[in-house]
Amino acid sequence: MNIAVLGAQWGDEGKGKIVDLLTPHFSIVARYQGGHNAGHTVYVGGKKFVLRLIPSGILHPDTVCVIGNGVVLDPQALFAEIEQLEQVGIAVGNRIVISNRAHLILPYHRELDVFAEAQRGERKIGTTSRGIGPAYEDKIGRRGIRVGDLGDPAPAVPLADVVRDNVEARNRLLHDSHLDWRAVLDQLLAAWERMRPWVRDVSVFLAEARRSGRRVLFEGAQGTMLDIDHGTYPYVTSSNGTIGGVCTGLGVGPRAIDGVLGVAKAYTTRVGDGPMPTELIDAVGERLRAAGHEFGAVTGRPRRCGWFDAVVVRHAARVNGLDALALTKLDVLDGFDEVRLCTAYRLGSATIQEFPAELGIVSRCEPVYETFPGWKGTAGIRRYDDLPAETRRYVARLEEVTGVPAGIVSTGSDRDDVIVRLDGCVARWLEP
Ligand code: IMP
């Protein structure tokens, strides 16, 4: 069995922890999109790890981690992450495989990201300023530079010409400073020398691995509502974090994916701008933020918080064909007098069941809530039946309105604070 783990909301759902939990059952963890805009946080023995580019599987000593062609890769960010891991005794060695088709993020992409945000003014997206969007723009604009291009012995267009043209285009746009293309080229060639042992054709690598019986976990970054096609466009990232991204971003066929796990918080958060129907700009929202430590893992920005939005997760279930949910941070809801669940939106006299494409409509939608009595004491619980009856009622209703069973429930930040429900498909996926 190979399974995909991806975000069912606006990112930050706790995918890092879930991937870390599942990794011992897989030999390979493969990232298929995004870049170091992601921040996958994992706590092991009370120690916090934030992984941005390298799949969270790296924390397990025998796991091979793949960076697919759909990822945009900043070599300096990669080296910094490897060094951080090595400082805490996690050897990367030959456990990473980088696609020769992955596109590079270069210093001018970061500058262009900041520039584009400033140009947008009030309509800014609230990007992570990592150069993600501009790198994908160059890819789609067919002027990007791929990892493998750095080592191409006989390129159709010399690498130096591509770098010079791209840097000069940047210099024309940003008048305030002049970037020397030769310095960029030298940096790229130095990066290639370091990366080359890891660079491969990932599609071929995964096909061979699967033929020899190795199991693959496909790791998504960001979330369905940040997907370039299915998210709240234009307030999205520039890649497909939804299920189709697995095939395009790694070079595998759809039948390589045996199960799809959507990760969702027991409430909703969003970082950056754009609509969020259940956002709470009040003391309850503040309390969720404080209890859930809802500050961006990459940028430190406070996250916007609100109740669970089943319209969003139904959208994610349909777009991704979710088989199960991993419901995270359930313990953050401990101690509230009441807990609410948004089951639909109201627009005038109409009830809206499916997430609208038009942001003008979304912004006029009011959440329709069901209210549940609060509960206490879910933190650290590791058996489903030990959860308070009120919590189980909430989860059961959440499953009903999203149409997806919660195969995993997470009740705390540590690796072991988790319930895998034995009667669900997740337990079956994990059988040897
Ligand atoms: P970009 O990916 O840096 O271009 O940012 C685009 C939008 O996606 C912004 O709203 C970011 O805050 C959001 N975003 C990007 N990566 C993540 C993530 O890993 N978690 C949550 N939000 C993200």
Task: Mention every residue, 6+ apart, whose C-beta is less than 8 A from residue 262.
Answer: 6, 7, 8, 224, 313, 316, 317, 320, 322, 324, 325, 326, 404
pLDDT at 298: 75
Helix orientation angle between 75-87 and 181-195, rounded to the nearest 10 degrees:
40
In 243-353, DSSP assigns E strands to: 259-265, 268-270, 304-306, 308-309, 324-328, 338-347, 350-352
pLDDT at 70: 98
**HSE toward the beta carbon, residue 241, CA cutoff 13 A:** 33
Residue to mutate, 6, 17, 37, ligand 1, most ligand atoms under 8 Å from C-beta: 37
**Integer Cα distance of 403 and 284 in angstroms:** 27
Q: Which of 168, 169, 164, 170 is nearest to 182 (CA)?
A: 164
**Integer Cα distance of 99 and 166 in angstroms:** 22
Cα–ligand 1 centroid distance for 77 (angstroms): 16
Q: Which helix (H) or strand (E) holds 410?
A: strand 406-410
Q: pTM value?
A: 0.96
Residue of minimum CA distance from atom 5 in ligand 1: 127
Backbone φ and ψ of 182, nearest 5°: -65, -35
pLDDT at 201: 98
> Looking at the domain 103-197, which fold is it?
Adenylosuccinate Synthetase, subunit A; domain 2 (1.10.300)
DSSP string, 161-228: HHHHHHHHHHHHH-TT----HHHHHHHHHHHHHHHGGGEE-HHHHHHHHHHTT--EEEE--S-GGG-T
DSSP 414: B
Q: Which helix (H) or strand (E) holds 287?
A: helix 283-291
- pLDDT tens digits along 267-286: 999 998 999 999 999 999 99
**How distant, in Å, are the alpha carbons of 69, 190, 201, 238 from that of 254?**
16, 37, 18, 22
For this structure, is 60 an active site residue?
A: no
**Integer Cα distance of 128 and 150 in angstroms:** 26
CB-based pocket (< 6 A), ligand 1:
11-12, 37-39, 125-128, 130, 132-133, 221-222, 226, 237-238, 271-272
- Render each residue's pLDDT in the chain as its tens digit; 432 residues: 999 999 999 999 999 999 989 999 999 999 999 999 998 888 877 788 888 999 988 999 999 999 999 999 999 999 999 999 998 889 999 999 999 999 999 999 999 999 999 999 999 999 999 999 999 999 999 999 999 999 999 999 999 999 999 999 999 988 877 899 999 999 999 999 999 999 999 999 999 999 999 999 999 999 999 999 999 999 999 999 999 999 999 999 999 999 999 999 999 999 989 999 999 999 999 999 999 999 987 778 899 999 999 999 999 999 999 999 999 999 999 999 999 999 999 999 999 999 999 999 999 999 999 999 999 999 999 999 999 999 999 999 999 999 999 999 999 988 899 999 988 899 889 887
DSSP 266: S
**Integer Cα distance of 405 and 398 in angstroms:** 9
Residue of minimum CA distance from atom 9 in ligand 1: 127
Q: Active site residue: 36, 40, 109, 315, which one?
A: 40
The CATH number of the domain covering residues in 3-93+202-429:
3.90.170.10
DSSP string, 124-137: -----SSSHHHHHH
Long-range CB pairs of 272-276, under 8 A, 24+ apart, other chains included: 272/125, 272/126, 272/127, 272/235, 272/301, 273/124, 273/125, 273/126, 273/235, 274/125, 274/126, 274/232, 274/235, 274/236, 274/359, 275/232, 275/235, 275/359, 275/362, 275/363, 276/10, 276/304, 276/306
Rg (CA), the chain: 22
Question: Encoding tokens for residue 98?
Answer: 């980088």
Cα–ligand 1 centroid distance for 164 (angstroms): 29
pLDDT at 194: 97
Delimit the domains of the chain by residue range. Answer: 3-93+202-429, 103-197
DSSP 254: G
**Integer Cα distance of 157 and 114 in angstroms:** 29
Question: Encoding tokens for residue 164?
Answer: 């010079």
Q: Which of 331, 325, 279 is nearest to 305 (CA)?
A: 279
Length of the chain as a residue count: 432
Residue to mutate, 15, 41, 271, 299, ligand 1, most ligand atoms under 8 Å from C-beta: 271
> Cβ(89)–Cβ(61) under 8 Å?
no
For this structure, is 40 an active site residue?
A: yes
**Integer Cα distance of 333 and 326 in angstroms:** 16
